[in-house]
Structures are given as C-alpha cells and as structure tokens.
Amino acid sequence: MVRKENSRPLDTNSDQSWVLSSLEPEQLVKAKKHHIPRRHLKGPELLVVWSLRLYLLFMMTVVAYQVWLAAR
C-alpha cells in the first residue's frame, strides 16, 4: 500500500474495519498474525505480577476449603 503525501492516516475504527473487510482471506490471516514480542518486566512490575499470582493461589485455597466444608 503506497501512501500519498496528502493522504490521512487510517486512525478511525471504521477506516480500519473497511480495510480489513476488503482484504482477501489469505491477506487477512497474514495481517492478523503478526508476532507481538514478549515484554520484559522490571522490578515493581514483577512484584505486582507475583503478588497477584500468590493472591490467586491463596483465594483458590480458600474457595476449595469452603467447598470442602460445605460438602461435609
């Protein structure tokens, strides 16, 4: 796709959906299958992610215990 100097960018959702709907199936698959690289998290971000993981494990344990108590 060649961009002219005076053309405006495709920034609205309707423009993007129009372009995607005009693609052939193989082109659409290729346009949707772009690789997104993995993000490398820093200290505070890792702390938040691991805190959420630990909270999830704790809450799963609490729910399993409550189900076990209710079944008794």
pLDDT by residue (tens digit) across 4-34?
A: 555 555 566 777 777 777 778 887 777 777 7
Distances (CA, A) of 72 to 5, 14, 58, 63, 68: 73, 56, 21, 14, 6
Q: What is the pLDDT of residue 18?
A: 75
Q: pLDDT averaged over the chain? A: 82
Q: What is the pLDDT of residue 55?
A: 98
> How long a stretch of residues is the chain?
72
Q: What is the pLDDT of residue 7?
A: 58
Q: What is the pLDDT of residue 9?
A: 57
For residue 20, what are the contacts with CB-CB under 8 A and spacing of at least 6?
28, 31
Instruction: Spell out a b/e string for 52-72, using b for 16 or more CB atoms within 10 Å of the CB, else e.
Output: eeeeeeeeeeeeeeeeeeeee
